[in-house]
Structure 1
Amino acid sequence: MKEIIDIVAAYDEAFKEGKKTALAIVVQVEGSAYRRAGARMLITEDGQLTGAISGGCLEGDALRKARMVIMQQEPLLVTYDTRDDDDAKLGVGLGCNGLIHILIEPINDHLHNPVSLLKKIINNRSHAVLVTVFSTEDRKATQPGTILCLTENKHIVARGENLPYYDNLLNNASRVLENHRSETINYTDAIEYTAFVEHVKPLISLVIVGAGNDAIPLTKIASVLGWEITVVDGRPSYADPARFPSAKKVVVSKPEQALSHIIINEWTAFVLMTHNYNYEVALLKELLPVRPPYIGILGPKKKLERILGELEEGGMHMTEDRLSRIYGPVGLDIGSEGSEEIALSIVAEIKAVLSSRNGYSLKYKDTPIHNVHLKIS
C-alpha cells in the first residue's frame, strides 16, 4: 500500500507540472524475482521514478520503454527472461532465475485510468481488487491493461465493460475479494488473454497510546512504512502535533473517550505506552470489547498480569479470544535496548501478527518467502 500511496502522490505532482507519465506493473512472474506480481513504478517523461519493479536492475530499461509508451500512448508488455545465465543479453545484471512480465501503461486523462483506480483503492480503506489484463501469446495485440477495481462495499469502477469475458472477470474479482488471495486467470477471445486479479490489502493503522519521548521513534519507523498513525494522550503538553509531524492525527483525550476519535478495523494495531497504569487500565477496558487484532502493552509481564487481574475483578471476563489479541511485553525478541530499537521490535511484531507470520529468521523457512497466488486456466 505504501508504494501505491507514493505513486499516486508522485502522479498528482507530475500532473500539476504538466508532465506525461506511464505506470509499469509486474503482472506475472515465473520462477524467482526480486519483486512479485503487483509491484509498480510510475515513470515521468523526464525520467523520475517512484516505486520499483525490481531491485534496480530493470528500471533503466523500463524507463526507455516507458518513454516510448508515453509517446505512442499504447500499453506495452515487456518480458525479461533471467533464466539464461548470460544476463549480458539483456544488458542488466539480474541475479534472479525467472521470467518477469511487466506491463507499461500510459496515464492519460481517461476518467478511469490506472492511477485513478489506485486512488479508489486508497480511499476505500479496506480490502479491494484490481484486475489487469494482458496477452503474452500475442504481444502486438491490444493490451487492455488495468481495467477494473472492486472494493469491499461492492463498488465497481471499470473501463472494460465491452470485453466479451467481462462478466467472468467480475465474478473472479468477487471471488478474490472474498478469499483475500490473488489469482492469475486465462481467458480466450480471438487470442488468449491473462488476467492478474490482484488482492490489495488495506493500509495498516497504528494507534499509539502515550505521547512520551519513546513514542517519537515509533511514529518515525511506522511512517517509513506508510502506516496511518494516530497518537493519543491525556496530556496536552505531550500530545502536541509539533512533536509528531508524521502522525495523521494527535488526540488529547481521557481514556473513556479515546476510541470515539478512531476508526477500528482488522488492520488497526494499538500500542499502549503511556507509563500511566490507571490510564491504560481504563483504556483497555474500553478496547477489549472492540476486538482489534493487536494490542501491544509496553512494560514487564507482571504489570500486564496485574492489569488483567484488575479488569477481571471488575467483571470483565478474560476470554481466550481477548487474551490472544494482547501482546505484552510488546515487541519481538531482538535484543532491543533504547527507544529506537524497541520501536523496531514493536513494528516488526505488528507486521508479523497482521500478516499471520511467526517473525523468525527466513534462514529457517522451508517454503517460499512469498505466498504464491493461484493460477487458473
Structure 2
Amino acid sequence: MKELIDIVAAYDIAAKQGKKTALATVVQVEGSAYRRAGARMLITEDGQLTGAISGGCLEGDALRKARLVILQQEPMLVTYDTTDDDDAKLGVGLGCNGIIHILIEPISGEPNNPIRLLKTVVNGRRNAVLVTLFSVEDRKAPQPGTCLSLTENELLLNRLEGLAHQAQIIDDAKRVMADQRSETKFYNNGITYTAFVEFVKPLISLVVVGAGNDAIPLTKLAAVLGWDTTVIDGRPNYALPERFPSAQKIIVAKPGQALSHISINEHTAFVLMTHNYNYELALLKELLPLQLSYVGVLGPKKKLARLLAEIEDSGQQITEEQLKNIYGPVGLDIGSEGAEEIALSIVAEIKAVLSKRKGNSLKYKPASIHAPHLATIG
C-alpha cells in the first residue's frame, strides 16, 4: 500500500508540473523474481521513478519503453525471461530464474485513468481490489490494463466498457474481496485475456501508547514502512509534535477518553509503553473487549500477568481469544538492546502477526516465499 500512496503523490506532483507519465505494473510472474505481481512504478517523461518493479535491474529498460508508451499513448506488455542460466544476454543480470510480465500504461486525462483507480484504493483506507487485464497470447491486441477498483464500501470504478467479460470481471472482483485472496483469472473470447485480480490491504495503523523517549524510534521506523501512526499519552509535555514528527496524530488524553479519538479496524495494532502501570491497566481494560489483532505490552512477563490478574479481579472476564492477541513481552526475540533495536523487534512482530506469519527465518521455509495466486478460467 505504501507504494501506491507514493505513486499517487508523485503523479499529483508530475501533473501539476505538466509532465507526462506512465504506470508500469508487474502483472504476472512465472518462477521466481524480486517483485511479485502487483508491484508498480510510476515513470515520468523526464525519467523520475517512483516505486519499483525489480531490485533495480529492470528499471532502466522499463524507462526506455515507458518513454515510447508515453509518446505513442498505447499500453505495452513487456516480458523478461531469466530462466536461461545466461541471463546476462538481456543486459540486466537478474539472477532470478523467472519470467516477468510487465504492463506499461500511459496515464491520460480521462476521468477513470489508472491513477484515479489507485486513488480510490489509497483514499478508502480499507480492504480493496484492483483488476489489471492484459493479453500475453496476443501482444498486439488491446491491453485494457488497470481497469477496475473496488473498495470495501462497494465504491466501484471501472474502465470495462465494451469488454465481453465485464460482468464476470466485476463478479470475480467481489469474490476476491470476500475471500481476501488475490487471483489470476483467464477469459477467452477469441483472444485469451489474463486478469490479475489483486486483493489490497490498507496500511497498518499503529497506536503507540506512551510518549517517552523510547517511543520515538518506534514511530520513526513505522514511518519508514508508511504506517499510519498515532501517539497517545496523558502528559502534554511529552506528547508534542516536535518530539514525534513522524506521527500522523498525537493525542493527549486519559485512558477512558483515548479511544474516542481514533478509528480502529482489523489492521490496527496497539503498543503499550507508557511506563505508567495504572494508565496501562485502565487502557487495557478498554482494549480487551475490542478483539484487536495485536496488543503489545512493553515490560516483563510478570507485569503483564499482574495487569491481567487485576483486570479479572475487578470482575472483567478475559477470554482465550483475547489472550491470544496480547503480546508481552512485546517484540520478536532478536537479541534487542536499546530503544532502536527494541523498536525493530516490535515492528517485525506486528508485521508477522498481521500477515499471519510466524516470523521465522526464510532459510527454513520449505515452500516458496510468496504463496502462488489462485488461477482459474472464467
What TM-score, normalized to structure 2? 0.99
> 1:79 Cα shift?
0.4
CA contact (8 A) 2:66 2:104 kept: yes
> 1:202 Cα shift?
1.2
Once the two structures are superposed, residues 179-238 of structure 1 have per-residue CA deviations (whole angstroms, 9 ceiling, x without a partner) of 111111111123111111011011100000000000000000000000000000000000
* Paired position in structure 1 for 2:26: 26
The answer to whether the aligner puts 1:356 opposite 2:356 as a matched pair is yes
Once the two structures are superposed, residues 93-151 of structure 1 have per-residue CA deviations (whole angstroms, 9 ceiling, x without a partner) of 11011110000001111111111111100111111100010000110111011110011
The answer to whether the aligner puts 1:255 opposite 2:255 as a matched pair is yes
The answer to whether the aligner puts 1:82 opposite 2:109 as a matched pair is no
Aligned length: 377
Unaligned runs of 5+ in 1: none
* Paired position in structure 2 for 1:344: 344
Whole-Å Cα distance in 2 between the matches of residues 137 and 298 of structure 1? 55
Whole-Å Cα distance in 1 between the matches of residues 330 and 85 of structure 2? 46
SS of 2:173 mapped into structure 1: helix
Whole-Å Cα distance in 2 between the matches of residues 351 and 152 of structure 1? 22
The answer to whether the aligner puts 1:327 opposite 2:327 as a matched pair is yes
Once the two structures are superposed, residues 312-368 of structure 1 have per-residue CA deviations (whole angstroms, 9 ceiling, x without a partner) of 000111110110110000000000000000000000000000000001111111011
Aligned residue identity for 1:50: T
Aligned residue identity for 2:326: I
Aligned residue identity for 1:372: P
The answer to whether the aligner puts 1:370 opposite 2:357 as a matched pair is no
Quick check: 188-197 or 128-137, which moved more? 188-197
Quick check: 333-342 or 282-291, which moved more? 282-291
* Paired position in structure 2 for 1:230: 230
SS of 1:318 mapped into structure 2: coil
Whole-Å Cα distance in 2 between the matches of residues 161 and 123 of structure 1? 24
* Paired position in structure 2 for 1:302: 302
C-alpha RMSD of the superposition: 0.7
Overall identity of the aligned pairs, in %: 72
> 1:372 Cα shift?
1.0
Whole-Å Cα distance in 2 between the matches of residues 161 and 71 of structure 1? 25
Whole-Å Cα distance in 2 between the matches of residues 286 and 44 of structure 1? 48
Once the two structures are superposed, residues 271-313 of structure 1 have per-residue CA deviations (whole angstroms, 9 ceiling, x without a partner) of 0000000000000111111111100000011110010000000
SS of 1:150 mapped into structure 2: strand
**Once superposed, which parts of structure 1, at least 4 consecutive aligned residues long, lie more than 4 Å away?**
none
Unaligned runs of 5+ in 2: none
Whole-Å Cα distance in 2 between the matches of residues 107 and 269 of structure 1? 36
SS of 1:229 mapped into structure 2: strand
Once the two structures are superposed, residues 155-184 of structure 1 have per-residue CA deviations (whole angstroms, 9 ceiling, x without a partner) of 111111321100010111111101111111
The answer to whether the aligner puts 1:10 opposite 2:13 as a matched pair is no
1:147-226 alignment runs, 5 A limit: 147-226=147-226
Once the two structures are superposed, residues 45-65 of structure 1 have per-residue CA deviations (whole angstroms, 9 ceiling, x without a partner) of 000111100011100000000
> 1:84 Cα shift?
1.4
* Paired position in structure 2 for 1:120: 120
* Paired position in structure 2 for 1:37: 37
What TM-score, normalized to structure 1? 0.99
* Paired position in structure 2 for 1:317: 317
* Paired position in structure 1 for 2:49: 49
Whole-Å Cα distance in 2 between the matches of residues 88 and 308 of structure 1? 59
